[in-house]
Structure formats: C-alpha cells, structure tokens
Amino acid sequence: MKKPKPVVDPRRYSRLVVDGIKQTPSRAMLRAVGFNDADFEKPQIGIASTWSNLTPCNMHIDELARRAAAGVEAAGAKAITFGTITVSDGISMGSPGMRYSLVSREVIADSIETVVGAQGFDGVVAIGGCDKNMPGCLIALARLNRPAVFVYGGTIKPGADKRDVVSVFEAVGGYASGVVSEQQLKFVERTAIPGPGSCSGMYTANTMASAIEAMGMSLPNSSAQEAVSQQKRDDCARAGSAVVELVRRGVRPSDIMTRKAFENAIVVTIALGGSTNAVLHLLAIAHAMRVKLKLDDFTRIGRKVPVLADLRPSGRFSMSELVAIGGIQPLMKTLLEAGYLHGDCMTVTGFSLADNLADVTPYPQGQEIIRSLQNPIKKESHLVVLYGNLAPEGAVAKITGKEGLQFTGRARVFDSEELSLQGILGGKVKAGDVVVIRYEGPRGGPGMREMLSPTGAIMGKGLGNEVALITDGRFSGGSHGFVVGHVSPEAALGGPIALVKTGDRISIDANLREITLHINAAELKRRASAWKPKKPYARRGALAKYARSVSSASLGAVTDLET
C-alpha cells in the first residue's frame, strides 16, 4: 500500500479564514449559521449537494447530504452544506434546453471550486446523481486538489415490466410507426420511472459512478446501491467519516487520480459496456487533474479488455439486478486477478485498490449478468475511436457487435436534431441510410446535445439494424444501434461533417477503426472552399460564453485549456 503523506495541519485552509484577530468578522458571520467556539478548532468539510426536485436522479440528495454531514461531525470535524445546480437530460432531451446539459458540467465544476476556494474548506464530500453533475463534481475536486470523497446518489428501481426512461423514448418511435397505441404509450409514460435515482441501465450516470469507484474516488460499492436503500444512506455517512481521515492523513485527489487510476476507470467502463459519454468526461477530468489522457488511450486499452456485462441499453439487465448480485466489486476483483487493473492505486479508503478487493467474494453461481473472461459478449471494447477523412480528429462509436462491425450507406443529412427527428418520424429515413446530424457539436450546438430522441425513434420504428447514425453531437448512455458521435472537427468549425451532402456514400468500419466519406480529395476541397459558417445560436449569456471557450470533443470539451 502506498503510504500517504503526513500532514502537519488538518486545518490548512480553514485556518486562513477563521484564525486570528483579523478574522474576527469571519467568525462572527459563522456564529450566525451555527458555529460555536469548539467548531473553529475543527477541520471544515464542505458538503457539495446537487439536490433538486426537478429530476428523479437528485430528488433525494438532500437527505444523503445530511447523512454525509452527520458522518463528518461524528468524526470530529465541522460540516458545512452548500448547493449547486443540476439539469435533467431526460427532461430536456429533444428540446432546445438540452443545449445546457454539457454546459451544466462546467457550471457545476466552477461553482464547487468557487465555494470551496472562497470558504477555505479543508476537505469536500461531493454528492451527484445525474449525468453531468457527476463529472462536474470530479472536475472541481481535481482542480481544488483537497482531500475529497465522491458519493453517487444511487440507481433508480426499474419501472413496470423492467421499463425505464429509454423505454419511453423508444415507445414514441413505436407510436409513430403504429406498433404502439396511444393507450400503451400513456401506460409506459406513467409506469417507467417509479421514484428517486438515476436511470436504471448502464447509461451515463451508472457508467460514471462505476468509473469513479474504479478510479478510487468513491468508497467501495458506492456505484452499485439503489438510491432509496439503507446501503446508500450508510455510504454517505461513511464518506463523511472517510474524508475527515483523508484530511488528517493528507491524502489528496492527486494521490488517487493518477494515470493508472484513469486506466482502471477505462477498463471497468469497457467491461461494463458503458456509455460513450465516459470518453468525454474522463478526458475532461484528466485534464483538470493534469493527467495526460488521450482518445488513443481508449483504443490501446480497448484492444485487450472484453465487454462482460449484459446490461441495458443493448443488454438485458438493469443496474438494480447487478446490485442484487454484488455490484461491480466482484467484477473488479476478476479484472484485477487477470491483470487488467492496477492494484497498487490509492483510494479514498486510505488503502490500495487491491487491499479493498482482497475479501470480495465472487458472483453467485448461475448469474447471467456478468460473463466470464472466457465467454465475453465482445472480445474487445465496444467504445471504438474512429478516424478518417470524415473525422480527422477522431469520433467515438458505441458498437457492441450486435449491430454488426461495418456499415456502408447513403447519407441522409440533417442540420439539427429537431430536423432529424422530423425526418425519422416522418418516414424520410429508410433502411440503408446513414443519418448525419450536424451543427450539434460543443461549439455549434452549442452544448453537444445528446441524440436519444433520434436513436430512440429509430429503434422504435424498427430500423435499429437497418440504419447508422453519425453526429458531431453526443449520445445518451441509453442510445444503442450503429451510432457514431463526437465527430471532430465539428461542423461549426468547418469540419468535414459540414461538407457531407445527402446521397454521399459513407462507410464505418469498427475493425479498421475508420469512418470514410467516399468523395475524392478535390471535391472535398471544393466544398470546403464554398462552406460558410452558420449564424451562432446564441450571442450572449451562458451558451455564448460556453461556445467561445469550449474545446473540441476530442479533448473532452473542456472550457479552460491553457493558452
């Protein structure tokens, strides 16, 4: 086990805010919010809560924050809870509001960094539930580099007949094609989402929770607990206690989120069949931690790591069913013993990953959710980084193998998500088409909207095995089918995806890791010279500021590149 650095002063930061005559006004203010004399001598721990009743993912996090604060206080420190925003991808999906989703990741990171930096907290517990507030929390913790623990809000219970939010999106497509009645659609709407917690498959929330646990920034099993369970409440209390110990021992995120830790996160994401968003978010978190991580690292690691989990959206099972057989800890132990994970990485327990996994028991006999290494769903990663004349800086495909490994077809081009959905539901998209949705990138969207509405409509219309879809936007973790996102450079910058015309032939080859627009170089150059940028969607406000500062998706769509 790596020995943590000793710390002389667990009040390294808070002392600057509350000690001495000159800080008397600070103490006076804090007395009004409940501090007493003894509290000023304790380490101060910020509890970053993403509570909101605007989404099931976060509606219970106020209680979890109270549990974490109690854990901090029981360990002899002072807890101070503060809030940050969240937005719901599931609610804003398919609307202009989805432009704010990825933007919210940066707002969350900035706000947590701002509060912790301003108030002088000695440590942080960050609690996240929905897709973007989880990486937003981690980006902030990386920037701050103060002792910290992340807590996942937990997964939702499945709805009736194992339905979830993706079932609703696909039912819309089924209704458009006539196979789902209005009454059936209403029943799905009313029963798919029964209460608190994040979406129930291996979508982005559960993917990121698992990646964060694999990286060592949350306690063992934090990623695999139901939102409304006693286990999740206990997890929060333990996190509060754990962060106080990290403060006293001087263990910081930079001791945990190392290059090896990010590789562990990639390995577990692949084995679980996780969301393409993990690529974007892990690149961004690594950037904040000053760890050099690139798109090609996903290819290098992905060549040797198999997909083992039969989880939704492309598989059969929900996260709750994985929780019931032991979560991701037995999987991680299997991967460690097979040499896929770095066992010497430090974690927020204060012990190494190998130490944490030492006493983990295997999955029960007969379970079908996690396959053996000898019988994988796919022998190498489902996250395939593609290059070619259509994506010189790269694109990210989610190909489990069920969709096939190659696709060639004629482009059906749409300049926005709304237009594509009209085309799909209206019957313009036919078998053999490659649907191209562009001007949805980080800058062009702006905000790189997720294409769950179009992919859900495609699946619902029965075209999932008959068409491919490429975009400079993103995909929800709930998307499945032959889909390629993050195409870079994006259309708004004049990337080759902006030059595609309906009828052009496009090939996608997961084996060769290539995406090709079949026109000659001279024609591509002619189109490029005639291309003109579109008018920006926003000229002022959060979207405009984001568009001016955001980097390429191939770099994680970060907003603080050093110049």
**Positions marked active-site:** 476
Element of type H or E holding 211: helix 204-215
DSSP string, 344-412: T-B-TTSSBHHHHHTTPPPPPTT--SB--TTS-SBSS-SEEEEEETTEEEEEEEE--STT-SEEEEEEE
Sequence-separated (6 or more) residues with CB below 8 Å from residue 524: 389, 496, 499, 517
Report whether 151 contacts 218 (CB < 8 A).
Answer: yes
Q: In whole angstroms, what is the distance from residue 342 CA to residue 357 CA?
A: 12
Identify which of 479, 560, 456 has the alpha carbon closest to the alpha carbon of residue 202. Answer: 479
- What residue type is 46 in one-letter code? G
Tokens of 530: 């005639």
Three-state DSSP state, 158: coil
Residue 384, strand partner residues:
397
Q: In whole angstroms, what is the distance from residue 168 CA to residue 188 CA?
A: 6
Report phi then psi at 127, rounded to 5. Answer: -120, 120
Report whether 216 contacts 347 (CB < 8 A).
Answer: yes
Tokens of 11: 């009040």
Identify which of 465, 473, 492, 487 has the alpha carbon closest to the alpha carbon of residue 420. Answer: 473
Report whether 448 contacts 557 (CB < 8 A).
Answer: yes
Identify which of 268, 269, 296 has the alpha carbon closest to the alpha carbon of residue 394. Answer: 296
Report whether 335 contacts 268 (CB < 8 A).
Answer: yes
- What residue type is 512 in one-letter code? L
User: How many other C-beta atoms are found inside a 10 Å radius of the C-beta of residue 177?
Assistant: 15
Identify which of 348, 376, 355, 367 has the alpha carbon closest to the alpha carbon of residue 146. Answer: 348
Tokens of 555: 């770099």
Q: What is the largest CA-CA distance in the chain?
A: 76
Element of type H or E holding 123: strand 123-128
Cα separation values, 370 from 271, 316, 323, 373, Å: 9, 11, 12, 9
Report phi then psi at 472, rounded to 5. Answer: -90, 0
Identify which of 68, 70, 13, 15 has the alpha carbon closest to the alpha carbon of residue 40. Answer: 15
**Beta-strand relationship, 482-488 and 468-471:** parallel
Element of type H or E holding 413: strand 406-414
> Residue 176, Cα to own-chain centre: how many angstroms?
30
Which residue reads 């970053």 in tokens? 48
